[in-house]
Amino acid sequence: MAHPSERIIAALDFPSRKPALEAAAKLQGIIRWMKIGLELYVAEGNRIVSDIQNLGFSVFLDLKFHDIPNTVAGAVRTAAATGAKMLTVHASGGPVMLAAAQEAAAASSNPPKILAVTVLTSMDAAQLSATGVAASPAEQVKRLAAMAYGSGIRGFVSSPEEVATIRAAHPEATLVIPGIRPAGAATGDQKRIATPASAVAAGADYLVIGRPIMQAADPAAAAQAIVDEIATARS
């Protein structure tokens, strides 16, 4: 398994380029990955992906594609051309869409890892039922992960609560886990949370961490403390 500094993905949840680049610059040499999500990407487009890569980071482009297979395949090809190394799609787009995403990625000159989002962590049983899904969130996560796996997907994003279940069902999958809070950190709006050490112990490969790093008085020190916590958890 990679060095702990290569297992932390800092979430660049900013509305524009300037604060994002300032935040990333503070973490150079400490961690390897940055996650660019919809807020920043919609504002800045592919330019921000290059900017972050030029600072020496690998980019996880978290745009959660969900459309007809042909459209998703095209979006994956375009996103792969930015050099982003991880991309997200919604598992609920179905087997044909997932296979199209996986095939488009595999055919790229620099294939990114496709990660399927199963059930959004903002969905509870009532929200799921309102969309016509009778299964519990936990059952639905399992079902969608198995379906995505059958379509060739080998990576997943899930909350800390589901990581052990997905890990048990798919031992070789790549698991990317948000909702991480170091002991003593503010939880914010996250509900299903885990510490870095416990998420790694449950089977997480990568931890997505936003506010506990970005809003720390000293982001570099906060990131380094998490790197050290993961190193201790593994030894």
Helix, strand or coil for residue 3?
coil
Q: Please report how close the Cβ of residue 85 comes to ligand C5P at its closest, in angstroms.
A: 17
Residues in contact with ligand C5P, counted by CB under 6 A, come to a total of 16
Is 64 a residue of the active site? Answer: yes
Instruction: Report the residue number whose CB is nearest to ligand C5P.
Output: 210
**C-alpha closest to that of 166 among 235, 229, 175:** 175
Chain positions 23 to 42 lying near ligand C5P, rule: CB under 6 A, are 37
Q: How many CB atoms neighbour CB 38 within 10 A?
A: 12
CB of 126 to ligand C5P, least distance (A): 18
Cβ 91 to ligand C5P, closest distance in Å?
A: 12
Distant-in-sequence, close-in-space partners of 63: CB < 8 Å, separation ≥ 6: 37, 38, 41, 75, 79, 87, 88
DSSP secondary structure, 6-72, as one string:
GSEEEE---SSHHHHHHHHHTTTTT--EEEEEHHHHHHHTHHHHHHHHHTT-EEEEEEEE-S-HHHH
Residues 153-212 that bind ligand C5P (CB under 6 A): 157, 159, 178-179, 188, 190, 208-212
**Active-site residue (options: 26, 35, 64, 142):** 64
Using DSSP's 3-state secondary structure scheme, residue 157 falls into: strand
Q: Is 15 in the site for ligand C5P (CB under 6 A)?
A: no
Restricting to residues 94-153, name those near ligand C5P by CB under 6 A.
Answer: 120-121
Shortest distance, CB of residue 226 to ligand C5P, whole angstroms? 11
Residues at the site binding ligand C5P, with contacts judged by CB under 6 A: 11, 13, 37, 120-121, 157, 159, 178-179, 188, 190, 208-212
